[in-house]
Structure 1
Amino acid sequence: MGNRKQKRTRFVEDRISGMPDDVLVSILSLITMKEAGRTSVLSRRWQKLWTFVPNLNFDGQERLYYLGDHRGERGFRRLHRIARTNYVKWVNRVLELHRTPAIDQFRVFFDLTEDYRRDIDNWINFAMEKRVQRLELSFDYCSLINPYPFPSLYQTRGIPSPNSLRALILKFLNVSGEVLEYFICNCPFLDRLWVEGSETLVNLKVAGPLLRLKHLEISHCLKLENLEISAKNLVSFVYFGPRITMPFKYVPNLVEMSLEGNYFEYSIYNFCEFSSYLPRLETLVLDLSKVEKKMKLLEFHTLSNLKQLELIATEKSGNASLLWLTSLLKAAPVLCRLTLKLHMYGSPGRRKVQKSPKCLHHCLKQVEMVGFVGRTIDVEYVKYLVKNAVELEKVIIDPRCPLMVGSPLVYEEIEGMQAARECAKMLGRELSLVDKLIVL
């Protein structure tokens, strides 16, 4: 019996070893750099295969989580410094051994600061020399204490041509608008630009005769003042940040947009003009936390193609109501999916459930509420939607706090979530939802 197992094992190993090198390299591209590097000990055949992997993903997320668990402890700074130094040595060692003439992806994900500027500059040069298609530098937000400065325009012109670049993602480092515009104008295949947490981004013009940009995201750039967009191929835009001057010069194909932070306060008062620039918009995310009380008296220009709407609201008063959102839903006659993420604070308050206004939604088929706790405010709104959505197929109730979704901390309120679930089930029976209700 033992001999049969050994023969079967050798047979499987022979089949893998018999594959062409390019197939094995493709397989290694699907795993992390550390896992790929470990295959070098399997046999001579595998010893250098990992050095031809075209996806260089230096993901240090696991190490960051470990450091986070020890934050505040004695000796943390020393531990942190050692971790940074080891990470940089690891990246440098891999780049020394790498053999592929071109790479698809170069991704750095760790808490690095200006102290490692020389190494990071070399990494950027390496990536450009290898004609990288996706360049991502993601540093932890803690790095903003001493952020890495992306090479200036003068320095950028000295690096190898970036014309192969398709995606540029820069998080929690400092980069200027001039440098970003250089990449926009000199990367004919660039279709994704994502900038987050830059303290030196003040003005940015996204325009150009050869611009193929499809996805643009600007978030947490607190010094930003002006953003001008003229991009006929742009299909999705995400903005999270301060109030700015942001004229949409030309975005005829924009179908997805998300506006969060203080900017929405400006855009909501110019909604008619604003929405006229968005003739094809199908998906919209709005953070109403700053403006919800002021919106109650506003009328909204029709968004005739809007099919998915996500609203983020904050209520500190237990006596508040969400029925003022009716006017916004009226502006989307073909809306088929609505998600409400509700952050509630303060005491529950005591008031009766208001009578639901009549405002029929003929296309609305799915409703989801995240942050349902069973208070008057959320029960009232669910009743309104069930009464007016004549084609309703699914109601999803999620008792988790929106900010905690995906975090281990979400389970600290397990008793409160269980009570909310029971309330949701009772509400489902009251409204005769039968198999339409899903409680998470």
Structure 2
Amino acid sequence: MGKRQQLSINFALKKCPCTQEDRISQLPDDILVYILSFLTIKEATYTSLLSKRWLPVWKYIPRLDFDATEPLHQVFLNHKLRKMHMKKYVRWVNRTLHKCEVHRLDQFRVCFDLNKFSQHEIDKWLEFAFARQVQRLELDLLKGGKETRDFDYCYTFPAQLLGLNDKLPALWHNFMSVKVLLLKSVNVTGEVLEFFLHNCPFLEEMVVHGSGTLVNLQVIGPSLKLKHLEIWRCQCLESLKIHDTNLVTLVASAATKLFLSNAPMLIKVEIVGAFRPILKDILAPISCVLSQLEVLKITSSDGLGNYKFPEFTKLKKFVAHVFAWRDTSLLGCTHVIGAAPLLEEFELKLVWYGGMAAEWNYDSGISLTPAECFIGKSIPGLKVPLDSNLVWFKPLRVKRECKKMVSCPLRHLKVIRLCGYFGRTCEFELVKYFLENAIVLEKIIIDPRSQIVTPVLSLSTIEMEQMSRNFAKLQLEGEVPPRIELVIL
């Protein structure tokens, strides 16, 4: 037999001196807690597996972010699985809070599909957060992680926690630390919101989405610290009064209910009217600030071409969400550019209407038969609510010649973004207009995805989006010059 081959010791793993000493674990607790504060709560708890030294550290992190929305789309239409995930989520939060020993909270965030059946548990979580003088409070309870739910199923913010039903509680000063208040799919009253406005001297941001109990809200007084206000899809809202404030950003979906005056710092506005918002009804309530705006975002059902825009002397970015289910020309939307000589960025979002639609009552688990659905109405014999969840839409494509407008040099326009691109003539001729007139154009972004937000994308939707993507490449790659960056998402 031959000699046994021996492996050279050169191939043996050598110990690295730096691995013999765990220098990170030797850091003071304050620094370790600071490091863990950049992780999610789930990631932070996993560090306790490293060694006994790390076991108690995560319990003191000041940022509790309970975000578990990622798997929601997988169980959207399965009522039993949703309930199971809800119970699992509640147990996770309860166990974590029971072990937490932090005395002050920078952030407390609940981000999951929870409804009124979790009222008791969420109440207890809020008590925990306020007792630790939370600075950023977020209750993001959107159904499926994306949509506001039926108001009757929403969790209700406990007014008694603030002492509004009686005298102020002994620990009322715990609320004074709040800087950010975000409530989505949470029923909250104007009285509760005004309590935060007037008792939280550091409150800079307030966001309310999908509240069914918000009727009246007044944001009045120069002493308010508030910089960002967002009131969205609160359909019972009758009056939103904003006066004598230092607001910088305003987002509202009830234009006809808005009363705005004396807001000299306001430079960014996003606004929409009712289900079929008319442009004049959108701009009228904010007419006093149009000349000072730098960013304006609107939603309109009557297009932009038949409206004479006022002068936007400082406007740099304009975003329009337009309902356009026929293949009619979009060139009229460029009229706003003539009123905004300094405009640098133009974005058009096209909503696809005129196709198959299905409704799903997410909380009750009841499904309706698919039917043809159009803007603001349904076919005879079928009642489809205006806020129904439309799963997919198919735009209509018509063969016609491209139209042209009179040339108008666009001297500052740098970025064009066209969302909901389906490869129709109306979209192609709009891009050609910008290519011919935008002198300093740098980038064109084409987004073929549907602009209707739904938790579940059907196979038909995905197929349509891919078809739109193919149309965009076929139509535009040969038209856009190399100096302009073309991005097709």
Same fold (TM over 0.5): yes
**SS at 2:187's partner residue?**
coil
- 1:222 corresponding residue in structure 2: 235
Which protein, 1 or 2, shows the higher relative CO under an 8 Å CA cutoff with sep ≥ 6? 2
1:29 positional shift:
1.1
Is the deviation greater in 16-25 or in 347-356?
347-356
1:203 aligns to 2:205 (yes or no): no
State the one-letter code of the partner of 1:87.
Y
1:286 positional shift:
1.3
Kindly report which structure 2 residues correspond to 1:294-313, keeping only aligned pairs within 5 A, or say none.
295-313=304-322
Closer/same/farther in 2, CA of residues 378 and 311 from structure 1, 3 Å limit: same
1:403 positional shift:
3.9
- 1:146 corresponding residue in structure 2: 153
**SS at 1:383's partner residue?**
helix
**SS at 1:291's partner residue?**
coil
Closer/same/farther in 2, CA of residues 418 and 157 from structure 1, 3 Å limit: farther
Offset from partner CA, 1:389-430 (integer Å, 9 cap, x none)? 2332333333333447998767433244113211111332xx
Provide structure 2 residue ranges, at least 5 long, that are not aligned to the other structure: 1-10, 144-148, 354-394
Offset from partner CA, 1:9-43 (integer Å, 9 cap, x none)? 334xx111122211111111111112211222322
Is the deviation greater in 84-93 or in 140-149?
140-149
Number of residue-to-residue matches in the alignment: 423
- 1:418 corresponding residue in structure 2: 470
Kindly report which structure 2 residues correspond to 1:196-345, keeping only aligned pairs within 5 A, or say none.
196-230=209-243, 232-240=245-253, 242=254, 244-262=256-274, 265=277, 268-269=280-281, 271=283, 274-288=286-300, 290-292=301-303, 295-318=304-327, 320-345=328-353
1:272 positional shift:
6.4
**TM norm structure 1:** 0.88
1:22 aligns to 2:30 (yes or no): yes
- 1:438 corresponding residue in structure 2: 486
- Verify the 8 A CA contact 1:103 1:133 in the aligned structure 2: yes
Closer/same/farther in 2, CA of residues 4 and 198 from structure 1, 3 Å limit: same
1:185 aligns to 2:226 (yes or no): no
Closer/same/farther in 2, CA of residues 379 and 64 from structure 1, 3 Å limit: closer
As a proportion of its length, which structure holds more helix?
1
- Verify the 8 A CA contact 1:201 1:224 in the aligned structure 2: yes
Offset from partner CA, 1:95-133 (integer Å, 9 cap, x none)? 222222111001111222223222222211211111110
- 2:390 corresponding residue in structure 1: none
Q: Distance in 1 between matches of 2:444 and 2:324?
A: 22
**SS at 1:154's partner residue?**
coil
Closer/same/farther in 2, CA of residues 231 and 112 from structure 1, 3 Å limit: farther
**SS at 2:225's partner residue?**
coil
Give the percent of matched residue pairs that are identical in Structure 1 and Structure 2.
37
Is the deviation greater in 22-31 or in 350-359?
350-359
Offset from partner CA, 1:332-388 (integer Å, 9 cap, x none)? 111011111223454322322122223332221222222333322112112222222
Q: Distance in 2 between matches of 1:125 and 1:438?
A: 51
Q: Distance in 1 between matches of 2:352 and 2:124?
A: 47
Offset from partner CA, 1:275-332 (integer Å, 9 cap, x none)? 33344210111112x222xx533211101000011112232222x1112223322111
- Verify the 8 A CA contact 1:243 1:263 in the aligned structure 2: no
- Verify the 8 A CA contact 2:305 2:331 in the aligned structure 1: no
Closer/same/farther in 2, CA of residues 184 and 391 from structure 1, 3 Å limit: same
Q: Distance in 2 between matches of 1:277 and 1:90?
A: 47
Q: Distance in 1 between matches of 2:212 and 2:478?
A: 49
1:49 aligns to 2:57 (yes or no): yes
**SS at 2:30's partner residue?**
helix
Offset from partner CA, 1:191-236 (integer Å, 9 cap, x none)? 0000011000011111234201111111111111110112532111
Closer/same/farther in 2, CA of residues 415 and 375 from structure 1, 3 Å limit: closer
- 1:132 corresponding residue in structure 2: 134
Q: Distance in 1 between matches of 2:261 and 2:291?
A: 13
Is the deviation greater in 49-58 or in 30-39?
30-39
Provide structure 1 residue ranges, at least 5 long, that are not aligned to the other structure: none
1:63 positional shift:
4.5
Closer/same/farther in 2, CA of residues 80 and 351 from structure 1, 3 Å limit: closer
1:256 positional shift:
1.1
- 2:433 corresponding residue in structure 1: 384
- Verify the 8 A CA contact 2:177 2:200 in the aligned structure 1: yes
